[in-house]
Amino acid sequence: MTTRYHTSRAELDALVAELGQPRYRTEQVWDALYRQQIPLEDATTLPRALREQLAEALPLALTALTESTAHDEMTSKWLWGCTRDGAQIETVLMRYPERATVCVSSQAGCAMGCTFCATGQAGFERHLDPGEIVEQVLRAAHVSPQRVSNVVFMGMGEPLANYDNTLAAVRRIHDDLGISARRITVSTVGVAPAIRRLASEDLPITLAVSLHASSDAEREELVPLNRRYPIAEVLDAASEFAGAKGRRVTFEYACIDGVNDSPAQAEMLGRLLGAFPGVGGAHVNLIPLNPTDGFPGHASIPPRLRTFAQRLRSHRVTATIRRNRGTDIAAACGQLRSRAAIPPPPPGSATMEP
Ligand code: SAH
Ligand code: SF4
């Protein structure tokens, strides 16, 4: 059985006809789901009986198990159970005064095993289908007073290891939700052949590459996939993407105290990325490490982060320090893992300012 946000417009059209309804109903349903982005039940332009029939024929793919909101009230996290098989995934909504970003999961779990990442520590369960990915954006949109303007594939899973479903979801988010390609960011640990494939697609989405180190020996300790696709190969694929799309590539760098945050390491990273091609060169997003149970490291301290960013800028590599949001509900980068049975940590865990 198909699910509500998996169904294409043509399939919806067929269903509407099957229910003996006039064709314009398809337009009304589509408008409610994707343009107004309201729950089907609230689409009052439709007769109640039709809403009920559609809800039954097109069930939701996700059931909310928990919904938590951080004490800043601008960050929310959902733990969902997939209706299909009970697999658990998480989604984060980050609201800003004028807009909102949804951080979606692309897989239940992840097979890449990055040592500092809670999802990687938990292992792989399965790929998500496009309907499950698109539904995360819309379910978050239903509660957000601000319009969802950006979608980032930075939740659980490696999107490029689930290439076809990720791309199908990206297309739906672009075509049906009307979010521009540049506001859709796919973050990858560095699956080089898939980055090249992405470079050949027509949509100029934003690519983020998780680097975390500037030498292969150091990166292998954090990102096991580096043994298969070492830094040079990942950068080569990323520059192909930058060249094909004329888009600046973002590199993510989780800053771990005493591990990868020294001035000498910043210098090396600056040299590595200083020559990166593409409009505006490379951009580095410094993410202070978020604590996870399975990794002993700590976040770099703010002065160290600032020095690191300055060194990068001296190589004409732009750098920003990401403010962690939602650490008190374990909603920050790399903290997502299904843990329905485990309560979130107590409020008051430090929130870093830029
Ligand atoms: N699999 C993709 C996307 C999901 S992870 C990827 O790895 O890029 C999204 C981002 O969170 C990645 O840059 C990842 O390296 C980072 N991340 C993972 N664990 C983290 C942690 N504990 N602290 C800070 N960032 C983390
Ligand atoms: Fe997977 Fe990304 Fe976590 Fe690595 S950092 S284990 S690729 S989700």
Q: Report residue 304's pLDDT band, with 50, 70 and 90 as the boundaries.
A: very high
The phi and psi torsions of 75 (rounded to 5 degrees) equal -125, 130
Residues at CB less than 6 angstroms from ligand 2? 110, 112-114, 117, 119-120, 157-158, 189, 210, 334
The phi and psi torsions of 135 (rounded to 5 degrees) equal -60, -35
Label residue 328 exposed, middle or buried (CB < 10 Å: 0-12, 13-18, 19+).
Answer: buried
pTM of structure: 0.94
Give the pLDDT of residue 354: 31
How far does Cα 200 stand from its chain's mean position? 21
What single letter denotes the amino acid at residue 16?
V
Which of 253, 287, 327 to mutate to test ligand 1, by most ligand atoms within 8 A of the CB atom? 287
The token pair at 247 is: 């888009």
Q: Which atom of ligand 2 is nearest to the CA of 107?
A: 8
What are the start-end ranges of the E strands in the chain?
Answer: 62-69, 75-82, 88-95, 100-103, 107-109, 124-127, 148-153, 184-188, 206-210, 249-255, 282-288, 318-321
For the stretch 39-76, pLDDT in tens is: 999 999 999 999 999 999 999 999 999 999 998 889 99
For the stretch 163-188, pLDDT in tens is: 999 999 999 999 999 999 999 999 99
| Helix, strand, coil % over all residues of the chain, rounded to 5 | 40, 20, 40
Which of 126, 128, 158 to mutate to test ligand 2, by most ligand atoms within 8 A of the CB atom? 158
Give residues with Cβ within 8 angstroms of 99, minimum separation 6.
146, 147, 148, 149, 150
Active site residues: 90, 333
Mean pLDDT of 145-174: 98
